[in-house]
Chain A
Amino acid sequence: MHHAHIDKFAYQDSPIHRLDSRVKFIVVMVFTFLVISLPVDSFGILFCYAVWPFAILVIGRIPLKFAFKQVLIVSPFILFLALSYPFYERGLVRTEFGPWNFEISLGWVKCFTISGKFTVTVLALIALVSTTKFSNLLSGLGRLGFPKLLVMQLGFLYRYIFVLIDKAQHILMARSSRRMRSLGVKREVKVAASMAGSLLIRSIDSAEKINIAMQARGFSGTWKSVNEQKFRRGDLLFALVCGAFIMALHFIVRPFLI
């Protein structure tokens, strides 16, 4: 597995990709807060909120199929919870939706709203990370005041996840090509523990080598980046447009729909 599979779209180019990562991060954060604070019977306005991540994804040329697939992959837990609502709240609610007029249990209303909120907030998150290179996002977070050590951690982590996952896959393949049948609990645990242990030792060894390599190149304890992002006019425009959209939804449209 290579990271290109997960955030390949972050390396495209579009007006959204060129924006300052700090602006995007803050907008997504505010957006998520507002969506989460919506009351339970706000299915209509959720659609209006959905316009924003949709617009970012489309302008940023992220295939919608990819985005929705990603939503599906992370959804099992929330689906399980959402589907438990109809069992617990079964009082009927009279609902009118345009020309239709029907009774539906409150549990189903909540179920739809919760899954809708989930979809919208995950789409917003996907819109953020698939239009921003992770290194840019990190330098943005660093300049927003995240602790330097943590930002460096995230950088290392991102760089080496895929290297180590490759190693783990080699080990797993070796196990499955040698194991012809189930080995019984004790041996299985022992084999898995040895696999994790040898992976750990390899990781520690490679950390030593990386450290020596970094020392040789003059690592002083902080990262220095060549391309510092600057807050440009486009970023201001983006922030204003997003702010106007969110404010309009919150203060003008929302009172009508709820």
Chain B
Amino acid sequence: MHMLNELLSVPVAAGTLAVAGGGIAFICRKVGKVITSEKVALMGIMGAFVFAAQMVNIPLPGMPGTSGHMVGAVLLAIILGPHAAAIAITSVVMVQCLIFQDGGLLALGCNIINMGLVPCYLGYYVYKLISAGKSGSVRIYVAAMAACLVAIETGAILVPVEALLSGVLSVPFLTFLKTMVAVHLIIGLIEGVITVGVLGYLQQVRGDIFSFGAGGKIRMSKRKVMVTFLIFTVVIGAGLSLLASDKPDGLEWSYADRPDQMDFEPMVSNGDAKIEAVDKFQAEYSPMPDYSIRSSEEVSAAWTSFAGVVGAILTMGFIWGIARIIRSNDKKGFGN
């Protein structure tokens, strides 16, 4: 998930930019010393491969009409090694920001950390740790799966943490965190399955790219896939039920209870003691806005604010008009 400018405060944005920039500069220097020109082209193409691979989608089981795709950071880390993969994914994130405007310019630091540095290094070392250089089919399946899940979950957890540090969240932190974790469990699972599939394919077709020394084969057996799905369905189910029991849905709450208007009749009242307790808990939990201080200030600012908006719109109209006139003159003058 791309982090956005608006979820960050300036110090957090500057801090993460500095960390990401420093990290990338360090990796570039380290890799730059040993890299051959052959690897330079390979890394560039691999970045482009990530874009293309994201178009290969699979329909999700049990959810008709939806489809998932891979992210690719862990796959690249396994094939290219973590340093080269980190540079490749960083360039992908930068192009997503600069050309496709996905994720903000200030959030670039966060995005590089969440989606590039953390998944590449963490995923690579988890994979290394579990696979331990051996070529057993089950071992590699588990290793790649675990690497993808850990890498993607960690990246996802960092998003609400960074937003929390910035202090811009009004959605309760835990709700946001749980939503991100639940959503990214599914994403990580898809990533894991496809990564394992690609590794198996590579081993069959081009053992030279992805070799474990002694030849071994990864096969996707139906049982393995099913067992994995079962385990993670249970985990996701447990996570979602936690989420559901903790707080009622925001919309439901807004109908049931309006603490800001004392004389407001609840439209939907529910006699259940548990739900009422949860409502009360949430009413206490939600931060009280400091509008009493704000309101006195805003009265004085009313007209200047209005003038600001009107002035800005007039200025834009003025610029547009001038540009229009100049453009039509250009057309007459030079016939282009």
Q: A residues near B, CB below 8 A?
A: 6-7, 28-29, 32-33, 36-37, 41, 43-45, 47-48, 50-51, 54-55, 58-59, 61, 70-71, 73-74, 77-78, 81, 84-85, 87-99, 101, 105-107, 110, 114, 117-118, 121-122, 125-126, 128-129, 134, 137, 147-150, 152-161, 163-165, 167-169, 171-172, 182, 185-186, 188-201, 203-204, 206-208, 210-211, 214-215, 219-221, 253, 256-258
> DSSP class of A's interface residues: helix, strand, loop or mixed?
helix
Would you call B87 and A211 a contact (CB within 8 A)? no
> Could you say which of A33, A128, A148, A200 contacts B10, with CB atoms under 8 Å apart?
A33
The smallest beta-carbon distance between B278 and chain A, in angstroms, is 15
Count of chain A to chain B residue pairs whose CB atoms are closer than 8 Å in the complex: 341
Would you call A54 and B41 a contact (CB within 8 A)? no
Chain A residue with the shortest CB-CB distance to B48: A160
Would you call B47 and A156 a contact (CB within 8 A)? yes
B266 within 8 A of A: no
> Could you say which of B2, B9, B251, B304 contacts A257, with CB atoms under 8 Å apart?
B304
> Could you say which of A29, A58, A106, A121 contacts B291, with CB atoms under 8 Å apart?
A106
Q: Please tell me the number of chain B residues within 8 Å of chain A, measured between CB atoms.
A: 110
Would you call A47 and B309 a contact (CB within 8 A)? yes
Return chain A residues, CB-CB under 8 Å to B79: 200
> Could you say which of B10, B196, B251, B286 contacts A37, with CB atoms under 8 Å apart?
B10
Would you call B56 and A51 a contact (CB within 8 A)? no
Per-residue contact bits, chain B 259-297, to A (CB 8 Å; 1 contact, 0 not): 110000000000000000000000000111101001100
Per-residue contact bits, chain B 201-236, to A (CB 8 Å; 1 contact, 0 not): 110011001000000000010100100010000000
Beyond the given pairs A36-B9, A44-B301, A158-B99, 9 more chain A to chain B contacts, judged by CB atoms under 8 angstroms and listed by A's residue number, are A51-B312, A90-B259, A91-B291, A106-B291, A114-B6, A118-B4, A167-B52, A172-B56, A204-B206
Return chain A residues, CB-CB under 8 Å to B2: 77
Chain A residue with the shortest CB-CB distance to B29: A147
Task: Please judge, given known A-B contacts A28-B105, A58-B323, whether A197 and B197 are in contact too, CB under 8 Å.
Answer: yes
Would you call B5 and A47 a contact (CB within 8 A)? no
B244 within 8 A of A: no
B328 within 8 A of A: no
Q: Please report the C-alpha to C-alpha distance between residue A101 and residue B305 in the assembled complex, in whole angstroms.
A: 13
Would you call B53 and A168 a contact (CB within 8 A)? yes
User: Within residues 223 to 260 of chain B, which ones have a CB less than 8 A from any CB in chain A?
Assistant: 225, 229, 250-251, 253-254, 258-260
Would you call B254 and A87 a contact (CB within 8 A)? yes
> Could you say which of B59, B206, B295, B305 contacts A182, with CB atoms under 8 Å apart?
B59
Would you call A156 and B43 a contact (CB within 8 A)? yes
One of B30-38, B121-129, B130-138, B146-154 at the interface: B30-38
